[in-house]
Structure 1
């Protein structure tokens, strides 16, 4: 299944008038409101998507800082953005697709497969000399019908955190956060520092080249193989709150590997004093109970 679209291919679609819904998902930890950046310049025709309001439910210790949105609310948002059945959606941001991938994952989970990430995002669009717009796009409502539960998840339902703990012990659990957060050297937003015992450090930033484009499929495959990942092994991914983990899942898909998402991620795990954490560079690390 295709995951990425290049700027040249997007330009061609737009030039010949192929129906394309462009969604701007600018967001960053510590700077959650991307609307101001959107209004300063975005791809013509792109609709702004608010990650906090549209791509997340209310945060809680059980579900983390950015729980998955309620399926009905997400479907209503998708129609508000102008998506109809049969459309092609292209999502982008200005940070290497690290927030746009959340929208990509949610649409895929909702059964909408015609969604692509713009490789290199807004930076690649600018680098190609393409024009920007500053209007606040208000599209006509779409009529897309969405479902939910099409993408694999871990850590939800009755088994919850036990499911995650067992996955880390018997499968491969990737931690997509920066290395210093994994090691427990710093923790800017969540209750405790460290990682889930057994998880392997796999920072999202290493999925990208210097120009914030995804590495080629063969390089991503080699990167994940070095971490012990194979297409036959059960893989799950978490990050701080389930946002950039979707980016890692996209990178794994480009490499031909399917992976599950732990939506609550570290923000949920670290909120429960009874759950163990590990620190240091190794998956087992130094364990701290509660």
Structure 2
């Protein structure tokens, strides 16, 4: 993985004015909100291309694969080319929810071998706060020719996640109330994977939506056992916000595997146990 995880607003502004401008992807998505494209069309960073998370960054939902399984590589490559991705051209990704959705595109493209892809630190809110221009309309990117190859980042399945929970470190990136089993708004059962440690994604961010400093993130994850873990895995509800946790871990200096099916796949299997309460087991 490239050491660079984020790009600042000032850096993006300079890059867009350079002779090697990046492809900018707008991943406007939130659970239960179908209006991402409308929000993009109304106002987005100049030149940005809209990415539909449900249709382009995931395959067809299934009990085994969860709500957002990884897309077929050929489908992802076709989508990436439609966004204008070319080999060697940098990519910057953003959303308007602290990059908790955009991180899915960041992770998928890294997984598919795109090295120069970063998250806009602070997301769209930071661009707006800087008083920088926005444009409206559908966007018309020039087609690209990127060649994608899967496997550049590690993944794990349900069996691997169960093993990591006790032989390594398995982090649950969902909100605390879902981890504890107090609420479950969308998946078949409440609770968490036995042995998993709660590490809500929202706690990776400062009040302005930027990532916390590397040393603060490192302590956050060390306090949850990352420093002594031989291997780290992350899951969430359906493999979206877990990608944000992996980005935060990378900023802190840790590598981690994604469990794409996450709780949506685990909880759909009645043979898989569920723990509740604030403790891992």
- Alignment TM-score > 0.5, same fold: yes
Distance 1:199 1:256 in 2: 20
Distance 1:214 1:20 in 2: 21
CA contact (8 A) 2:23 2:84 kept: yes
CA contact (8 A) 1:269 1:275 kept: yes
Q: Confirm or deny that 1:70 pairs with 2:67.
A: no
Which 4+ residue blocks in structure 1 deviate beyond 3 angstroms?
Answer: none
Within a 5 Å distance, the mapping from 1:1-290 to structure 2 comes to: 1-155=3-157, 161-230=158-227, 233-284=230-281
Report how many aligned residue pairs link the two structures.
279
What TM-score does the superposition give when structure 2 sets the normalisation length?
A: 0.98
The CA deviation string for residues 86-130 of structure 1, in whole angstroms up to 9 with x for no partner, is 101000000001011000101111111110100001000000000
Distance 2:49 2:263 in 1: 30
Distance 1:171 1:135 in 2: 47
Q: Secondary structure at the residue paired with 1:67?
A: coil
What TM-score does the superposition give when structure 1 sets the normalisation length?
A: 0.95
Task: Report the CA distance shift for 1:254/1:231 in structure 2 as closer, same or farther (over 3 A).
Answer: farther
Distance 2:228 2:28 in 1: 31
Q: CA RMSD in A?
A: 0.9
Distance 1:244 1:169 in 2: 22
CA contact (8 A) 2:27 2:95 kept: yes
Distance 2:26 2:67 in 1: 21
Distance 1:33 1:54 in 2: 15
The CA deviation string for residues 58-89 of structure 1, in whole angstroms up to 9 with x for no partner, is 00000000000000100000000001011010
Shift of 1:232: 5.2
Distance 2:251 2:160 in 1: 26
Distance 1:30 1:231 in 2: 37
Structure 1 unaligned residues grouped into runs of 5+: 156-160, 285-290
Distance 1:68 1:32 in 2: 20
Shift of 1:138: 1.5
Distance 1:203 1:32 in 2: 24
Shift of 1:18: 2.4
Shift of 1:231: 6.9
CA contact (8 A) 1:231 1:257 kept: no
Shift of 1:32: 3.6
Shift of 1:233: 2.5
CA contact (8 A) 1:101 1:250 kept: yes
The CA deviation string for residues 235-261 of structure 1, in whole angstroms up to 9 with x for no partner, is 000000000000000000000100000
Q: Secondary structure at the residue paired with 1:140?
A: coil
